[in-house]
Amino acid sequence: MKNRVVITGLGVVAPNGVGLDAFSKAIKNGHSGITHHQQLADLNFSCCIGGIPHISEDKKLEYLTPLQLRGFNSSGILYGCIAGIDAWKDAGFSITSDSKLDFDSGTVFGTGTSGVEKFREAIYKLDDGDVKRLGSTVVVQTMASGISAFLGGILGLGNQVTTNSSACTTGTEAILMGYQRIKNGQAKRMLVGSCSDDGPYIWGGFDAMRVMTYKHNESPEQGSRPMSASASGFVPGAGAGALVLESLESALERQATIYAEVLGGHMNSGGQREGGTMTAPNAEAVQRCITDAIANAQISAAAIDTINGHLTATSKDSLEIENWTKALQRKGDDFPYINSLKSMVGHCLAAAGSIEAVATVLQLKEQFVFPNINCEDVHPEISALISEEKIIKTALETELNIAVKASFGFGDVNACVIFKSYN
């Protein structure tokens, strides 16, 4: 007998809203979190806009101790800790430094790179011959598993504590990894999510690849344009999303609030074959990831009410829509609703999947579809495949039962998770 897995807590740090209430309001109102950053301009970036969550110094002290904040320079870990702690509290757990070790709770909390600014700081010192003066904080902030290590200690987690990494698929993959662990009876609760640093040192490589838009430096809020004919590259973002996954049995026992159920999902790779490359998806693998996720969740494609796509606002958006139509065997008026959170927060890279999953789960809990902004001119290749009415432009209150979240990443990797309303 496999365990059913439900979501009992959410936390989010997004460029357009920090905390569930602010984020929920922002996504319903189509509020953009993209702003101009002079630092990027000063460093000669082509794209000088991005989505950076706003966290005050006071807010930091609500989550980390003054000692933890000494020499602290890892925005991703900060965002991950805030989202993770919020999700844990939202699930009804109290957090104290002397709480009992819980062997039934663990975390899979992903990231792409950790503490890139801290690493830069350390490299300057090292190159000056000052290795002795690095202090004790470099390792824990720059090791990939820094975020799960921080959260594991703050929450007193005694089950698996690890960090996964699969580029822009990371957040969605973390959800599925935690889901599997609970489903198989190896844990009762898993905090899952992902985080990503902000700023030039994490975004620079993408700017160099010319995959970020340089056309909206004067109009940041209009910059991120998934599915639009005038999409001209993605806008970088940062932040973190976190979900508490729990066996249905444990959630009922605790009388926890249940946001939604995780029905299943799938992860695969296109192997950088048949059109797939390091940076481009193998379409067949993407379609197969979706169909295998549907099979794993034991639903029919017809049951899907809404899709939260990967949809980054590059030239690949049309291909993604085509992949969805083929995988679901649904098109035109028969296609589900589809949206991309990236229109409001940009592409939060390793954090994208988890922030977008939080938005997807909120849609199920509160029965609405958040709007796509900057999509008044739907790309003709997309409107040839699906009805424009399915690309919601102002928040829609409607009955939703099943929502799908998919993420696709560099390395030709894919993940697709299927959520269902719980009632």
101 binds other proteins (CB under 8 A): no
Tokens of 303: 């049951």
CA atoms within 13 A on the CB side of 102: 23
135 binds other proteins (CB under 8 A): yes
Shortest distance, CB of residue 201 to other proteins, whole angstroms? 24
136 binds other proteins (CB under 8 A): yes
133 binds other proteins (CB under 8 A): yes
Q: Which residues share a beta bridge with 243?
A: 10, 192
User: Closer to other proteins at the Cβ: 71 or 92?
Assistant: 71
Shortest distance, CB of residue 125 to other proteins, whole angstroms? 11
128 binds other proteins (CB under 8 A): no
User: Closer to other proteins at the Cβ: 65 or 184?
Assistant: 65
Q: Report how far residue 121's alpha carbon sits from residue 197's, in angstroms, rounded to the nearest whole number.
A: 15
99 binds other proteins (CB under 8 A): no
Shortest distance, CB of residue 71 to other proteins, whole angstroms? 7
Q: Report how far residue 354's alpha carbon sits from residue 348's, in angstroms, rounded to the nearest whole number.
A: 9
Under 8 Å CB-to-CB from 171, ≥6 apart: which residues? 110, 193, 194, 241, 350, 351, 352, 353, 354, 355, 356, 357, 407
User: Closer to other proteins at the Cβ: 135 or 380?
Assistant: 135
66 binds other proteins (CB under 8 A): yes
**How many residues make contact with other proteins (CB under 8 A)?**
8
Taking only Cα atoms into account, the Rg of the chain, rounded to an integer number of angstroms, comes to 20
DSSP 52: -
Shortest distance, CB of residue 141 to other proteins, whole angstroms? 13
Residues, the chain: 423
User: Closer to other proteins at the Cβ: 21 or 98?
Assistant: 98
Which of 34, 37, 102 has the alpha carbon at shortest distance from 344?
34
70 binds other proteins (CB under 8 A): yes
Q: Which of 71, 92, 204, 275 binds other proteins (CB under 8 A)?
A: 71
Residue 51: φ, ψ to 5°: -110, 110
137 binds other proteins (CB under 8 A): yes
Residue type, 76: G
Q: Report how far residue 190's alpha carbon sits from residue 5's, in angstroms, rounded to the nearest whole number.
A: 10
Letters for 10-49 (x = contact with other proteins by CB under 8 A, - = none) are ----------------------------------------
Tokens of 128: 């000056």
User: Closer to other proteins at the Cβ: 153 or 185?
Assistant: 153
Q: Which of 67, 100, 129, 255 binds other proteins (CB under 8 A)?
A: 67
| Segment contacting other proteins by CB under 8 A, of 23-31, 62-70, 143-151, 221-229 | 62-70
Which of 26, 33, 39, 78 has the alpha carbon at shortest distance from 51?
33
| Segment contacting other proteins by CB under 8 A, of 36-44, 63-71, 150-158, 387-395 | 63-71
Tokens of 116: 């890139």
User: Closer to other proteins at the Cβ: 142 or 318?
Assistant: 142
DSSP 271: T
Q: Report how far residue 335's alpha carbon sits from residue 301's, in angstroms, rounded to the nearest whole number.
A: 10
List residues binding other proteins (CB under 8 A). Answer: 66-67, 70-71, 133, 135-137
